[in-house]
Amino acid sequence: MTTPLAGRVALVTGSGRGIGREIALKLAAAGASVVVNDLDKDVAEQTAADIAAAGGKATACAGSVTDPGFAQRFVDTATDTYGGLHVVVNNAGYTWDTVVQKMTDEQWDDILDVHLKAPFRILRAAQPVISAAVKAERAAGVPRVTRKVVNISSVAGTAGNAGQINYSSAKAGVTGLTRTLAKEWGRYDVTVNCVAFGLIRTRLTEAPADGDASIDVDGRQIKVGVNPDLLARLETGIPLGRAGTPAEAAGAVYLFCQPESDYVSGQVVVCGGGFDG
């Protein structure tokens, strides 16, 4: 088995379940040492344990990405445990939907915090580590090391989606963050790209027939899921005729993490089975 990411250290937010878990597993299988994050400590530790059981390297860093001190703790976990930082995947998030006239300030702020402010804070915390490492590598004459940032967006951010003005706005902001940081961090040999997901089957989209499903976010019960009949109708609008799987979503992220994409930066790729909004 080839390990193109051997010696690399990766941070993946929201990687205890779903798409994030598949990203963590894929990076670890490629040789990266992965810092796994989830709100649920048990879930994060289980994913890390699964990676270790498969012969990979991983450690858990549980907690909310929106906590003010989380970003520094997350970066410190990578450097303290594995001695470096090479890949950052900003994946954590959830939806809290309603139409604009019914949306509260709390709904707006919380969704922008998790999808836009949290990635900003993590990348800000990562900058001194990356800058120092690059200076040291260049001074030592080490061959170029290309580091990777992959931010997660959505077709809701590229085209908008009724009932998701908070989520769509946050994900549109991720595009601006990505393209700006690609310009700022090119001098460090860091590529910064974005994957915008279409319809992917996760616990946020799948729900029982009665639509009664929720997730716990910091003690709040947030309703999630798409009615199965509506989900089936949505799939008919996808050229490939079906929703994507978490593993397929992770594959799109991996495209930007592997060495073959070392000269691709500032791009947004839609992973939507041909549907782009």
Q: pLDDT band for position 203 (50/70/90)?
A: confident
pTM: 0.94
Is it the case that residue 39 has pLDDT exceeding 80? yes
Domain assignments of the chain as residue spans, ordered by start: 9-199+245-271
Q: 224: pLDDT confidence band, cut at 50, 70 and 90?
A: low
Cα 209 vs. chain centroid, distance in angstroms? 28
CATH assignment, 9-199+245-271: 3.40.50.720
The confidence score (pLDDT) of residue 111 equals: 98
* Stronger pLDDT, 77 or 1, i.e. the higher one: 77
Q: Which tens digit of pLDDT belongs to each residue from 82-98? A: 999 999 999 999 999 99
At residue 208 the predicted structure's pLDDT band, cuts being 50, 70 and 90, is low
Mean pLDDT, rounded, for 12-27: 98
Residue 211, pLDDT > 60, answer: no
Residue 160 has pLDDT above 60, yes or no: yes
What is the predicted pLDDT for the residue at 2? Answer: 85
C-alpha 241, offset from chain centre: 25
| Residues noted as catalytic | 167
**Range 186-202 average pLDDT:** 97
pLDDT at position 225 is 60
Whether residue 213 is predicted with pLDDT greater than 90 in this model: the reply is: no
Q: What is the pLDDT of residues 131-141, one digit of tens each?
A: 999 999 999 99
pLDDT band of 227, cuts 50, 70, 90: low
| 210 vs 112, more confident | 112
**In the predicted model, what is the mean pLDDT of residues 156-167?**
96
* Residue 247 pLDDT greater than 70, yes or no: yes
Is the pLDDT score of 210 beyond 60?
no
Q: Is the pLDDT of residue 209 over 60?
A: no
Average pLDDT over all residues of the chain: 94
